[in-house]
Structure 1
Amino acid sequence: MSQEPHSPRLEIEYCTRCRWLPRATWMAQELLTTFEAELGEVALVPSAGGVFEVRVDGEVVWSRKSDAAFTDAADIKRLVRDRVAPDRPLGHSERSTD
Structure 2
Amino acid sequence: YKLAWNGGWLVAVPPENTSRTCPCCGHVSADNRQTQARFVCVECSFEENADVVGAINVLRAGHARFACEVSGAAMPPAAGTHRSDSGAAQCRA
| Smaller-chain TM-score bracket | under 0.3
Which structure features the higher share of strand residues?
1
User: TM-score normalised to the size of structure 2?
Assistant: 0.27
What TM-score do you get using the length of structure 1 for normalisation? 0.27
